[in-house]
Amino acid sequence: GVRIHTEAAVTEASATTGGFRVWAKSGPPHEGDVLLLATGGQGGGSGYAIARHFGHSIVEPVPAITLLQTRDARLRKLSGIDVPSASARIPELGLEATGGVSLLPQGIGGPAVLELSSRAARDLTARDYICLLEINWASHLGNSQPTRQLREVQAAHPKRVVAADPLYNLPPQLWERLVEAAKVPADARWSGLGNPQLQALAGQLVNTRIKVNGRAVNKAEWVSSGGVPLEEIAPESME
């Protein structure tokens, strides 16, 4: 019993006694008991105007789920790397998310980063997406520096070359960059690492600090933060 009217952009809507009346660009008005307003993330043209007509306030929409951009030299040539065990946090906002981090041509993504970009959408927009992102590539170790665990590896495999001995199933290219960032020589063996180098490597492993300088721009964002405020909606019925 559903009737679909195509090429009938809605221009106006109003309440009637016991229902609603909707006008399109052409043809007679349509009447019904219930009006479902689906504006889309960018307001759907006249959608937000209709919402305001019924007394709703509108929060300006901003991009929510988005990739983060960086110029960090450590991440160059690492596009396509995915670390499911990684977590990410934005310390200045007190936000953290787990679920994995991906390095893509457009920027840093993955479930953890996308969740952060969603929860911090309005704060990041106010900052022009300039912030500090901290990545823990082995979140199962916790956020404290795992120097003790690295000493255990050192004791168990003293003759192995550190850069060629990726830990915690990290991609070899990423591990090499973390070792390099910790100022550990490419040919150094575990037995040759002193305490300062172990601490530096531990820091790179669970607290890689990356300066974010923007967001990846899509022609159409997946999700926007904004629209009709949730306090104006009854969640049990969506009225």
Please give the pLDDT value at position 106: 82
Which of 132, 92, 125 is CA-nearest to residue 215? 125
Would you state the pLDDT for residue 5?
A: 85
Q: Mean pLDDT throughout 216-236?
A: 81
Query: Higher confidence at residue 81 or residue 26?
Result: 81
Per the CB < 8 A criterion, the answer to whether 204 and 181 are in contact is yes
**Is pLDDT of 214 > 70?**
yes
Average pLDDT value for residue range 120-132? 95
Give the pLDDT score at 144: 76
Confidence of residue 110 (pLDDT cuts 50, 70, 90): very high
Identify the pLDDT of residue 43. Answer: 53
Q: What is the mean pLDDT of residues 117-140?
A: 94
In angstroms, rounded to a whole number, what is the distance separating the alpha carbons of residues 215 and 3?
Answer: 41
The pLDDT, as a whole number, for residue 45 is: 59
pTM value is 0.80
In this prediction, residue 216 carries a pLDDT of 82
63, burial (CB in 10 Å: exposed 0-12, middle 13-18, buried 19+): buried
**Helix %, strand %, coil % for the chain, to 5?**
30, 25, 45
Q: Provide the pLDDT for residue 38.
A: 83
**pLDDT attached to residue 64:** 87
Q: Which residue has the tokens 């591990």?
A: 175
Give the pLDDT score at 174: 95
Q: Is the pLDDT of residue 218 over 70?
A: no
* Confidence category of residue 220, pLDDT binned at 50, 70, 90: low
pLDDT band, residue 128 (cuts 50/70/90): very high
Tell me the per-residue pLDDT of 38-81, one tens digit each, with 9 for 90 and over. Answer: 876 555 557 888 999 999 999 888 888 899 999 988 888 898 99
pLDDT band of residue 107 (cuts 50, 70, 90) is confident
Buried b (16+ CB within 10 A) or exposed e, 96-111: bbbbbbbbbeebbbbb
When the pLDDT of each residue in the chain is averaged and rounded to a whole number, the result is: 90
Helix (H, G, I), strand (E, B) or coil at 229: coil
